[in-house]
Amino acid sequence: DSTKIMDCLKQEIEKEGLSDEVTVSITGCFGFCEKGPIVKINPDNTFYVHVTPADAREIVTEHLLNGRAVRRLLYEEPAVKQAVRRQDEMCFYKKQNRIALRNCGFINPEDITEFIGAKGYLALGKVLTTMSPDDVIKVITDSGLRGRGGGGYPTGKKWYFAKIKEADQKYIICNADEGDPGAFMDRSILEGDPNSVLEAMAIAGYSIGASKGYIYIRAEYPLAVNRIMIALNQARELGLLGNNILGTDFHFDVELKYGAGAFVCGEETALIHSIEGKRGEPTNKPPFPAESGLWEKPTCVNNVETLANVPAIILNGADWYSSIGTAGSKGTKVFALAGKINNVGLVEVPMGTTLREIIYDIGGGIKNGRKFKAVQTGGPSGGCIPAENLDLPIDYESLTAIGSMMGSGGMIVMDEDNCMVDIAKFYLEFTVEESCGKCTPCRIGNKRLLEILTRITNGNGTEDDLKTLKELGQIIKDTSLCGLGQTAPNPVLSTMKYFWNEYVAHVKEHR
């Protein structure tokens, strides 16, 4: 529909003789998925939602020719039932701080000159002309940036370990193998602002001494793949990637590798094996990839969102970034807000924002006036958080402390009609399907957990089953080889902790 809308707008603009004054341009995702397709009119920042090709005529005649907003296409705030005209006045955007998403919805991702116009490649220029690799690592370390893919490992430390390892070749890998159900942060960044990731990879390469980078991306993301390819070619043509970047003696180029959709390949050692053409299975760490990674060379694996923060940190400084967030978790985090919520979409908030602010102020509250029951953070590796924790300021530590995790940023909201045992079963089905089968606790243990859960939801469960669920879940967490198995029981254990009555009711009901 978006392409049709754009064509219709162009036709109407031409018909009215406005082609010299008005440009119609594509952008990446605005983040407000619930309200798409979106048309934004600049410079007045008017934000039209649920636009159809048939609306093009009215937008041109009313708005462009007469300066009157098309009221029926404006967004209505659910809390006050009032139409809002400007993007910066909408509650969905007001509480956000968009750093990783800074260019998404603002620039044409297929035109590198727009990225350059938005300070793109300025950070790379600064790094190559005024900073040593150690300076770069110090800024990233001091900023407090931690891995946004789920692990939360300090990015500067990772770069440092790769830098100090002597080797004739080193690699940067961008992990774009986003696999959590309901998560689309990385896809959106790559579709809306691919050059920021390429620029960050070059900066990372300079800091550790790597001349080669790989983007490991899901083959199911064709638009993201297409836009990275366009960005890569345009950057090479302008001498921003390749040999002698910006006239210096720094060489760095990037290649794409396609993942086939295996969730476990998001784990860095499995991902590295997959790039090497081997079966995508995790291996024990140490050695960590920073020491011995791709083809046994020092390798930094950073996720898309982590990298998207890097140019902004280089330009604005470590103090600027570390002034945002909480004591242990600096900066912002992008969440994919989905489920029973009014404003489904991508949101980027400072660490330390409460769940209540995200769900009610930004998310517009629960759909159809229903009551909030829980929110699952961290995808299939995370846990369900109940209403009593709505005022929790979220960061890596606080989420782990209550039995969930940050993960890559999936946030699925449930209302009073959701059965929490069914929710736990849904996530477990996913992890059982995605287990690579290498280690026994995950391969066999999670299957047994699922059998028990299925028995319970079918009405044949016993109180002994509940006991076994808890014990077995903990054993799987303690003994699995990689993060997938270590976190797979989280949805079961967290729902048992906070919604025990629902498990008991299932068992009692069918006694």
Site for ligand SF4, rule CB under 6 A: 264, 282, 435-439, 442-443, 480-482, 484-485
Residues 507, 466 contacting (CB under 8 angstroms): yes
Beta-bridge mates of residue 403: none
CA angle 17, 23, 24 (to 5 degrees): 110
CA distance 260 to 270: 13
Task: Name the CA radius of gyration of the chain, rounded.
Answer: 24
Q: How far is the CB of 76 from ligand SF4 (least distance, A)?
A: 45
The single-letter DSSP state of residue 172 is: E
Q: Which of 490, 493, 496, 498 shows the shortest CA–CA distance to 150?
A: 490
Tokens 């080669």 — which residue? 212
Toward ligand SF4, which CB reaches closer, 147 or 282? 282
Toward ligand SF4, which CB reaches closer, 9 or 436? 436
Toward ligand SF4, which CB reaches closer, 120 or 485? 485
Toward ligand SF4, which CB reaches closer, 282 or 350? 282
CA distance 165 to 338: 42
Q: How far is the CB of 259 from ligand SF4 (least distance, A)?
A: 15
CA distances, 384 to each of 11, 141, 444 (Å):
49, 32, 24
CA angle 99, 229, 37 (to 5 degrees): 60
Token code pair at residue 492: 């079961």
**One-character DSSP codes across 203-224:** HHHHHHT--EEEEEEETT-HHH
Token code pair at residue 364: 């517009």
Toward ligand SF4, which CB reaches closer, 447 or 467? 447
Residues 370, 340 contacting (CB under 8 angstroms): yes
Toward ligand SF4, which CB reaches closer, 188 or 435? 435
Q: Which of 410, 27, 15 shows the shortest CA–CA distance to 184?
A: 410
Other Cβ atoms closer than 10 A to 183: 23
Toward ligand SF4, which CB reaches closer, 239 or 437? 437
Other Cβ atoms closer than 10 A to 63: 18
Token code pair at residue 482: 């990689």
Q: How far is the CB of 445 from ligand SF4 (least distance, A)?
A: 9
Q: Which residue is nearest to ligand SF4 (CB)?
A: 485
Cis preceding-peptide flag for 43 (omega within 30 of 0): yes
Toward ligand SF4, which CB reaches closer, 200 or 270? 270
Q: How far is the CB of 431 from ligand SF4 (least distance, A)?
A: 8
CA distance 111 to 244: 22
Residue 247 exposed, middle or buried by CB count within 10 Å (0-12, 13-18, 19+): exposed
Q: How far is the CB of 64 from ligand SF4 (least distance, A)?
A: 54
Token code pair at residue 257: 């590798």
Q: Which of 117, 86, 89 shows the shortest CA–CA distance to 103?
A: 117
Q: How far is the CB of 484 from ligand SF4 (least distance, A)?
A: 4
CA distance 236 to 245: 9
Q: How far is the CB of 441 from ligand SF4 (least distance, A)?
A: 7
Residue 480 exposed, middle or buried by CB count within 10 Å (0-12, 13-18, 19+): buried
Toward ligand SF4, which CB reaches closer, 185 or 270? 270
Toward ligand SF4, which CB reaches closer, 253 or 434? 434
Q: How far is the CB of 341 from ligand SF4 (least distance, A)?
A: 30
Cβ-proximal residues to 185 (8 Å cutoff; 6+ apart), any chain = 100, 148, 178, 304, 305, 334, 335, 336, 346, 408, 409
Q: How far is the CB of 12 from ligand SF4 (least distance, A)?
A: 53
Toward ligand SF4, which CB reaches closer, 199 or 281? 281
Q: How far is the CB of 221 from ligand SF4 (least distance, A)?
A: 22
Q: How far is the CB of 271 from ligand SF4 (least distance, A)?
A: 12
Toward ligand SF4, which CB reaches closer, 143 or 269? 269
Toward ligand SF4, which CB reaches closer, 422 or 429? 429
Q: How far is the CB of 265 from ligand SF4 (least distance, A)?
A: 10
Q: How far is the CB of 481 from ligand SF4 (least distance, A)?
A: 4
Query: In whole angstroms, what separates CA 494 from the centre of its chain?
Result: 23
